[in-house]
């Protein structure tokens, strides 16, 4: 239960951080907010971790750079989605990325049924719209889908970093690279945001709650979780995001939209249970080629 509780704690911190980020959009825009979050998180992690980079091989640097680019793209797309659609809706749509990755890694055709169930949930969200009958912003949906694709890419990239880079150094470098990748687009918005005192506090809160704490919790948990399991273990994240949007941002969801979230949650829970049964059935097969690599670093956008 330890890794599961750590991941759920990470999800809760992540969504509270996302709610703070939404409040920062008015000052720095979505890209400026994303840049501030990653830049401040990188500084905090650099001070705390103090990675030893001397002696890194070219393969280690390439893996960390790829992880950083996927991190920056994932968070940039997600915050762009948040500026157009509600938090719970954005997270639910984004969740299709790791769920589809989980089904692909399982190599079992029946697991595609879980993806189909999740897609049905997203369709319900589209039918319900947001704000009690309004239509979903199409560009917001596109950004959420792109964030989901980047999330899946980030899971794969983090697995490679976990194999090649010991300790927390890969996380620090990746976070810094993600911030640098967004610097050209986010610098102007970041400057506007920090000119207001409350903007500085919002930015710090977003960096700590949406990056530092989730990364730390998941780093502790995911060393014991397979890649496929992590992709589906976040089954409650859309619910947590919807609750955070309601409690912190006043974003209500219609009953039909809530049903869509529930379908995605059920799809994730079902896929998690199926993966667990598969591992149990194959536990007697030493060195099973279908057992995925373990990951060291993986975190959702938010």
Across the 302 residues of the chain, what is the mean pLDDT of every consecutive 10-residue run? 75 90 93 94 89 90 95 95 90 83 73 81 72 72 94 88 86 93 95 92 91 77 64 70 85 82 80 63 38 37 58
Find the length of the chain: 302
Other C-beta atoms within 10 Å of 292: how many?
A: 18
Q: How far is 37 from 212, CA to CA, in rounded Å?
A: 10
Q: How far is 253 from 260, CA to CA, in rounded Å?
A: 10
Give residue 291's pLDDT.
27
Give residue 134's pLDDT.
59
Find the DSSP H helices in the chain.
2-49, 58-82, 87-94, 96-106, 112-128, 138-164, 169-194, 197-207, 213-222, 227-233, 237-249, 255-281
Q: How far is 188 from 32, CA to CA, in rounded Å?
A: 7
Q: Residue 146 in contact with residue 153, Cβ under 8 Å?
A: no
pTM of the predicted model as reported, rounded to 2 decimal places: 0.82
Give residue 302's pLDDT.
61
Give residue 190's pLDDT.
95
Q: Residue 68 in contact with residue 190, Cβ under 8 Å?
A: no
Q: How far is 301 from 18, CA to CA, in rounded Å?
A: 9
Distances (CA, A) of 185 to 35, 36, 119, 188: 8, 11, 32, 7
Q: Residue 95 in contact with residue 148, Cβ under 8 Å?
A: yes
Give residue 294's pLDDT.
32
Give residue 27's pLDDT.
93
Give residue 277's pLDDT.
63
Supply angle C-alpha 3, 66, 12, rounded to 5.
Answer: 30
Give residue 114's pLDDT.
80
């Amino acid at each position: 239960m330890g890794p599961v509780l750590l991941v759920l704690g990470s999800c809760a911190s992540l969504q509270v951080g996302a709610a703070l980020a939404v409040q920062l959009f008015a000052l720095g825009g979505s890209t400026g907010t994303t840049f501030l979050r990653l830049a401040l998180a990188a500084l905090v992690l650099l001070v705390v971790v103090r990675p030893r980079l001397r002696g890194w091989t070219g393969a280690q640097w390439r893996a960390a750079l790829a992880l950083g680019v996927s991190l920056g793209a994932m968070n940039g797309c997600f915050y762009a989605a948040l500026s157009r659609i509600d938090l719970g809706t954005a997270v639910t749509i984004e969740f299709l990325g790791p769920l589809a990755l989980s089904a692909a890694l399982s190599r079992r055709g029946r697991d595609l049924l879980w993806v189909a169930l999740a897609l049905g949930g997203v369709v319900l969200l589209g039918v319900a719209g947001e704000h009690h009958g309004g239509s979903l912003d199409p560009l917001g949906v596109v950004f959420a889908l792109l964030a989901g694709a980047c999330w899946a890419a980030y899971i794969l990239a983090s697995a490679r970093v976990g194999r090649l880079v010991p300790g927390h150094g890969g996380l620090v470098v990746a976070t810094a690279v993600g911030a640098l990748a967004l610097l050209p687009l986010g610098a102007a918005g970041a400057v506007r945001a920090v000119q207001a005192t409350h903007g500085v506090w919002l930015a710090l809160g977003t960096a700590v709650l949406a990056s530092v704490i989730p990364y730390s919790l998941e780093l502790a948990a995911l060393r014991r979780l397979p890649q496929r399991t992590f992709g589906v273990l976040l089954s409650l994240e859309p619910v947590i995001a919807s609750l955070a949007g309601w409690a912190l941002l006043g974003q209500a969801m219609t009953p039909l939209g809530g049903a869509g979230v529930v379908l995605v949650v059920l799809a994730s829970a079902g896929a998690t249970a199926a993966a667990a049964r598969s591992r149990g059935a194959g536990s007697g097969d030493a060195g099973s080629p279908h057992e995925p690599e373990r990951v060291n670093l993986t975190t959702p956008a938010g």
